[in-house]
Structure 1
């Protein structure tokens, strides 16, 4: 019995390591196959993402490829616009103002998943659309037109800093109905918010009421983001 028991122990010591080694080899092979499949799926998504962007970009973009990247480029007015998909998974978005050499938009990021990348590219498309829209004329209205004149000037300056093609003028509430036909959008200062229901019946223009805190604190960036939601609509 003792000899038999010792033989079993010896056999176990010989066989178990061999089985473990074989199991490790099989596991490594399976892991390698899974890794290859993950890489293949990631490459497929990367190509689909490129085609998705190509489909959503305006006409005029040139599709090109070199040994490092696949790119979509175009020139619009004074802007050179380029989106590059590098072979290492990095996506780069660039908009240069060729009139002064400024880089007005730049971001690069690593492709991790499709949804994350689509979100970043959608932001690029929104900004690109703001560059390509025709000049929009905005009329800002207050009770007498004095305080809104300075506000209109500062707001237009901030639009220009963001390279957005917008012209803003001021008027008083009594001349608004006659002037509004030459403008795509009307802004009401807090002092005349209560006129909005009446004005909607008089003029066929979108009317935005400027939030009181934004107006009082000169929060131009937030006001611009509100206006953007109107300017980027196709029906304006």
Structure 2
């Protein structure tokens, strides 16, 4: 099972998105675990993730995350984040884990 970590300032704005992504993953039979972490906890847990997705509002931290892990780190596309496009973001994360 692959683990997707979403990260935002406080973990609140991504919690609803995580629920939608979990429902989408279950419906589609994706073998992933998805969690949201606030910025101040994410670095401590980064080793547990197979991919780290950052909320657009903290995209400026991407370089710091990339230095802390050899796993993929990307900013969630603003349009998908704003529309809570769980399917699109799951696809984005799965593609990153394949590379």
TM-score computed with the length of structure 2 as normaliser: 0.90
Quick check: which one's helix share is greater? Answer: 2
Aligned to 1:205, the other structure's residue is in SS state coil
Higher RCO (Cα < 8 Å, 6 or more apart): 2
2:66 to 186, 200, 205: 200
Report what 1:221 is aligned to.
Answer: 87
TM-score computed with the length of structure 1 as normaliser: 0.40
**Structure 2 segments unaligned to the other structure (5+ residues):** none
1:179 to 35, 41, 45: 45
1:168 to 14, 34, 40: 34
Aligned to 2:35, the other structure's residue is in SS state strand
Moved over 6 A (4+): none
Number of aligned pairs?
99
Query: Aligned equivalents of 2:49 and 2:14: distance in 1?
Result: 16
Query: Aligned equivalents of 1:203 and 1:166: distance in 2?
Result: 19
**Structure 1 segments unaligned to the other structure (5+ residues):** 1-134
Cα distance per residue 1:31-69 (max 9 Å; x no partner): xxxxxxxxxxxxxxxxxxxxxxxxxxxxxxxxxxxxxxx
Query: Aligned equivalents of 1:231 and 1:210: distance in 2?
Result: 14
Q: What's the CA shift for 1:215?
A: 0.6
Is 1:231 equivalent to 2:97 in the alignment? yes
Query: Aligned equivalents of 1:226 and 1:182: distance in 2?
Result: 19
